[in-house]
Structures are given as C-alpha cells and as structure tokens.
C-alpha cells in the first residue's frame, strides 16, 4: 500500500533549505525568531515568503542577533507556542549560551541547522564543527543525508521534541551548501497529513496561563541543580524509543521508513565498516558499491541520531567486524574526532571489538570524492597503524 502511494507520488525539485522551509510551513509554528546567516539564509527566506504569502500564520521576530533569536525562542516556547528557528556556524556559536537554557527549561524548540565550519579562519562552507560544538547542550541532534531526509526528519523531529516523554529541543542538521543549496526531487506530504501527524503543541506549564502561575527558569543552587540536570538525562534516554515509535507511524504516512536510529547500508556481511554523518554518506554509498564490485566486504553505518548517541545499537552493529573507519567532519583539537570518541566509548560494552580508525575529512568545505573513500579500505585491510588520526584530502 505504502509502496503504491510512493510510485504515484509527485516529487518537487527543492533544495535542502527549501525542503526544510516547507517542513516549517507545514509544522505551523506560532513564533519563529530568526537571524540570517549563510548557508541557513535560504531556509528563513523561503519560510518568510510563505508567511508573506499567507500560507502559514506565524509571527516572525526579526531579532538583532542569534543570541536574541534563541532568547526569544525560549520565551515564546515557555509562553506555550510552537517555536522554530534556523542557524549555522557563528550563529549557533552565538546562540549556544541560550541553547543550554532552552534544553534545561525543556523547551521543545525546533531548529534547522545548515552545518558550516566555525571560524577561524573564517569560512562559509560545510563541516560539522558547529553542530559538534553544540553536542553537550542538551539538544536532540539529527543528521540528514539529503533534502528528503531534511524534510522528513524535520517533521518527525518536531513531534519527537514535543512528546511528553521527551520535551527537549531538536536540531535537524543538513550539510551547508552540499544539501542546503543543492536541488533534488523531494516528496512532500499533504499539509493536512503533517498537521495531523504533529498535532498541536500543548505546553506543560504555559506562562500565559495566568490562572495557573508558575516561576520558570529560577535560580537552582547546589541543593536542586543536580536533580534538574538528571531529569534531562532521563528525557534523552527516552528519545530512542519514541523515535522508533514515531518512525513506524511516519512510514505508514509517507512510505519512507527510517528504521532504527541509523541506516545500515550493505552492512550485514561487512568485515569493514564506514561510520559517517550527513551528506558524505551518499558519496560513501557510491564508494561502497564500487568496492563491492571488487568483492570487498564493506558496509556503511550512517547515523541519523547523534544526540542522544545510540551507543548500545552501534556496539551491537559493530561487534565482530574486522575494522571500522570513523569519519569525522570536525576536530576536537587535542583529542580524537568527536564521532570516534563516542564510538570508542560505546564499544567498551562488547568483547569482539573491531580495530577503529579515525579519519578527519572535509573541513571548511574541502571536497571528498568516492575514490578517496575507497582508498580507506586499503588501510583497514593491511591493518595499518590505528593509533594515529588520518586526514583525507589534506596537502601533507
């Protein structure tokens, strides 16, 4: 049934930014406080056009900075509104102080991130240093491979954020330019189907409910701070289960099933596994297809959820493999790449631990090609020294 629907379905040529803006329109936010920044700008430009055309009834607040955007988002969310926004790079850095407050105050704000390198040196192109900087801020982080995922996971992500078992803000991350500015055929759901799927947001303690007064964001001294942080730990722990539940429901609606918390591509019999976030997973699929034609048993594990980090599921998937190449599009200077560190910790739970390799690639928008990804398997096969960080596409 779902497959038949898919065959008849119309697709629209959209950039990732436009796809995210359509999701925002269909999610019908009451308030969108936002500040433009490359490469996020086409998201809010497209959305602002929808508002100007009367297609969605939203109050856009043109603020003076991203710090103000996130502050206004927290205020509006506490008041009881569904709030969405968008940012990139330096904008996320400027928001970050308030991002921690948004999650601690349990505001399910939805934010589209067009991932871009952090300065310096100043650069406008894609890497994941902005999203990785925000990884401890208490937000759900969903990485998207393409425009279709940016649309679908914005819709599912918002309902996930607002679920009573979760109530956390969510970042839906698409690679800057590579996805935000590239047009692809995207299947959109009907407006009313999305409206029905996400429902209305009902805040637990809406500030505007003056019959039930509350104090929000109070000072929490050593006697309470720890307990309030522990509540966030529980909320994060609930995300995986709610995600799976919602994806099943979304699959019935859309015919697109995001099964599990990561995509397993040719993984079943793979001795060698690549782990990747975002758009480069598409390039890796091409590389893996070519390697498979050379009878190399290579597969891909592409994470959708980075926060919460699905450690148990990843450990199960990687148990018994010969070697795993973990590709980080960000540095954690003075240590391993962020994704590598997470996976290394996750594998403590298993005995048949594969050899892990850490590759840094694509910083500041440096291109990455299938041949480069294909050559990684040579390191894995010849059991090269795994005790060093390697750099792909760097002049050295």
Partner 1 sequence: MLKRYQELPIGGVVVGGATPQLVKTGSWRSGQKPVYDQQRCIHCLLCWVHCPEATILIERGQMRGFDYEHCKGCGLCAEHCPTGAIQMLKETGGS
Which residues make up the interface to partner 1 (CB under 8 A)? 104-106, 167, 204-205, 212-218, 220, 223-224, 226-228, 230-231, 234-235
Give me the least distance between CB of 76 and partner 1, in Å please: 15
Sign for the CA dihedral angle at 285, 287, 293, 298 comes to negative
Q: Closer CB to partner 1, residue 166 or residue 331?
A: 166
Give me the least distance between CB of 69 and partner 1, in Å please: 20
Q: Closer CB to partner 1, residue 205 or residue 391?
A: 205
Give me the least distance between CB of 312 and partner 1, in Å please: 23
Give the burial class of 41: count Cβ atoms within 10 A of its Cβ; 0-12 exposed, 13-18 middle, 19 or more buried. middle
Q: Closer CB to partner 1, residue 218 or residue 334?
A: 218
Q: Closer CB to partner 1, residue 121 or residue 222?
A: 222
Give me the least distance between CB of 219 and partner 1, in Å please: 9
Q: Closer CB to partner 1, residue 82 or residue 285?
A: 82
- Which residues, other chains included, contact 189 with Cβ-Cβ below 8 Å and sequence gap of 6+? 26, 155, 197, 253, 254
**Phi and psi at residue 254, in whole multiples of 5°?**
-110, -20
Report CA-CA distances (Å) from 124 to 39, 83, 90, 167. Answer: 7, 26, 10, 32
Q: Do residues 325 and 355 lie in contact, with contact meaning Cβ atoms separated by under 8 Å?
A: no
Sign for the CA dihedral angle at 131, 132, 136, 139 comes to positive
Give me the least distance between CB of 244 and partner 1, in Å please: 23
Q: Which long-range contacts (CB under 8 A, 24 or more apart) does 188-191 make?
A: 188/12, 188/19, 188/22, 188/26, 188/151, 189/26, 189/155, 189/253, 189/254, 191/25, 191/26
Give me the least distance between CB of 212 and partner 1, in Å please: 8
Q: Closer CB to partner 1, residue 190 or residue 217?
A: 217
User: What gap in Å lies between CA 373 and CA 392, rounded to an integer?
Assistant: 8
Among the listed residues 84, 76, 104, the one whose alpha carbon sits nearest the alpha carbon of residue 207: 76
DSSP 93-141: HHHHHHHHHHHHTT---EEEEEE-PPSSS---S--SHHHHHTTTSS-EE
Give me the least distance between CB of 30 and partner 1, in Å please: 19
Q: Closer CB to partner 1, residue 215 or residue 294?
A: 215
Give me the least distance between CB of 228 and partner 1, in Å please: 5
Give me the least distance between CB of 262 and partner 1, in Å please: 28
Among the listed residues 320, 327, 301, 296, the one whose alpha carbon sits nearest the alpha carbon of residue 393: 327
In this structure, the number of other CB atoms found within 10 A of the CB of residue 69 comes to 25
Q: Closer CB to partner 1, residue 212 or residue 293?
A: 212
User: What gap in Å lies between CA 115 and CA 137, rounded to an integer?
Assistant: 16
Q: Closer CB to partner 1, residue 232 or residue 319?
A: 232
Q: Closer CB to partner 1, residue 20 or residue 235?
A: 235
Give me the least distance between CB of 173 and partner 1, in Å please: 24
Biggest alpha carbon distance in the chain?
69
Among the listed residues 60, 64, 28, the one whose alpha carbon sits nearest the alpha carbon of residue 44: 60
Helices 16-27 and 191-198 meet at what angle, rounded to 10? 60
Report CA-CA distances (Å) from 350 to 181, 316, 317, 378, 386. Answer: 41, 8, 11, 25, 19
Give me the least distance between CB of 131 and partner 1, in Å please: 24
Q: Closer CB to partner 1, residue 74 or residue 117?
A: 74
- Take residue 211 and report the two structure tokens written for it: 């019959």
């Amino acid at each position: 049934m779902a497959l038949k629907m898919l065959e008849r379905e119309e697709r629209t040529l959209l950039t990732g930014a436009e796809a995210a803006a359509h999701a925002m329109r269909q999610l019908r936010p009451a308030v969108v406080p936002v500040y433009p920044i490359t490469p996020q700008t086409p998201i809010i430009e497209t959305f602002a056009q929808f508002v100007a055309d009367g297609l969605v009834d939203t109050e856009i607040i043109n603020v003076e900075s991203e710090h103000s955007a996130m502050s206004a988002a927290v205020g509006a969310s506490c008041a009881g509104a569904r709030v969405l926004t968008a940012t990139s790079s330096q904008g996320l850095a400027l928001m970050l102080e308030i991002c921690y407050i948004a999650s601690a105050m349990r505001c399910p704000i939805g934010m589209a991130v067009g991932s871009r390198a952090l300065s310096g040196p100043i650069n406008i192109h894609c890497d994941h240093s902005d999203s990785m900087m925000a990884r401890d801020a208490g937000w759900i982080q969903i990485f998207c491979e393409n425009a279709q995922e940016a649309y679908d996971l914005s819709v599912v992500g918002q309902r996930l954020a607002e679920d009573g078992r979760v109530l956390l803000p969510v970042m839906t991350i698409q690679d800057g330019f590579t996805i935000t500015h590239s047009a692809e055929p995207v299947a959109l759901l009907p407006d009313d189907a999305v409206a029905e799927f996400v429902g209305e947001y009902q805040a637990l303690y809406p500030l505007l409910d003056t019959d039930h007064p509350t104090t929000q964001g109070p000072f929490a001294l050593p006697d309470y701070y720890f307990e309030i942080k522990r509540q966030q730990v529980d909320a994060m722990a609930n995300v995986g289960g709610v995600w799976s539940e919602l994806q099943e429901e979304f699959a019935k609606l859309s015919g697109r099933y995001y099964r599990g918390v990561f995509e397993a591509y040719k993984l079943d019999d793979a001795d060698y596994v690549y782990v990747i976030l975002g758009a480069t997973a598409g390039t890796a699929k091409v590389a893996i297809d070519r390697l498979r034609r050379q009878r190399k048993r290579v597969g891909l594990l592409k994470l959708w959820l980075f926060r919460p980090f699905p450690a148990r599921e990843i450990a199960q998937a990687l148990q018994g493999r010969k070697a795993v190449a973990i590709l980080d599009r960000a540095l954690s200077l003075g240590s391993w790449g962020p994704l590598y560190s997470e996976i290394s910790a996750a594998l403590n739970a298993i005995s048949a631990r594969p050899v892990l390799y850490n590759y840094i690639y694509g910083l500041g928008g440096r291109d990455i090609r299938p041949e480069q990804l294909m050559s990684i398997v040579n390191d894995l096969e010849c059991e090269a020294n795994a005790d060093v960080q390697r750099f792909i596409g760097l002049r050295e």
